[in-house]
Every structure is written in structure tokens, then in C-alpha cells.
Amino acid sequence: MTRQAASADERREALEHCMARLKPEHRQVLADRYYSDNSRQEIADTLGIKARSVTVLLRRIR
């Protein structure tokens, strides 16, 4: 394994560890936004909240 691949694996493991420590609903918001590439409005519609609230929630989670 190359040094770059090992570093990428370490970053992925660190991200998974951090995600696992979040509340399930926060983990879902992040997954919807960054893995599924849903817009803030799409997430807001799913959660029944305003898009601005999703923005605030994302900032708090990060």
C-alpha cells in the first residue's frame, strides 16, 4: 500500500469514528448533505423544517 493510500484510509477511518459518535439524526443530516448530495431545501423538506434551520444545524454539527 502506498503512503498516499494509507493516509486516505486513515482519514476515512477517522471520519467514520467521528460520524459514529454523532447522534443518529445528526449523522443522517450529514449523510444526506455530503454523501447523497441533497440540497439544504431537500433535507429541510424531509425533516419538516426551514432550509435556514438545516444550515444552522449543519454548522453546529461540524
Residue 2 lies in a domain: no
Residue 18 lies in a domain: no
Number of domains in the chain: 1
Alpha-carbon distance of 46 to 18, in angstroms, equals: 24
Residue 9 lies in a domain: no
54 is in which domain, residue-wise? 23-62
Residue 47 corresponds to which cell in the numbers above?
425533516
Q: Phi and psi (nearest 5°) for 28?
A: -65, -40
| pLDDT recorded at residue 3 | 73
pLDDT, tens only, 39-61 = 999 999 999 999 999 999 999 99
Closest CA relative to residue 58, chosen from 36, 30, 31, 23: 30
| pLDDT recorded at residue 62 | 82
Residue 59 lies in a domain: yes
Q: How many CB atoms lie within 10 A of CB 40?
A: 18
Average pLDDT for the chain:
91
| pLDDT recorded at residue 2 | 73
% residues pLDDT > 90 (the chain):
77
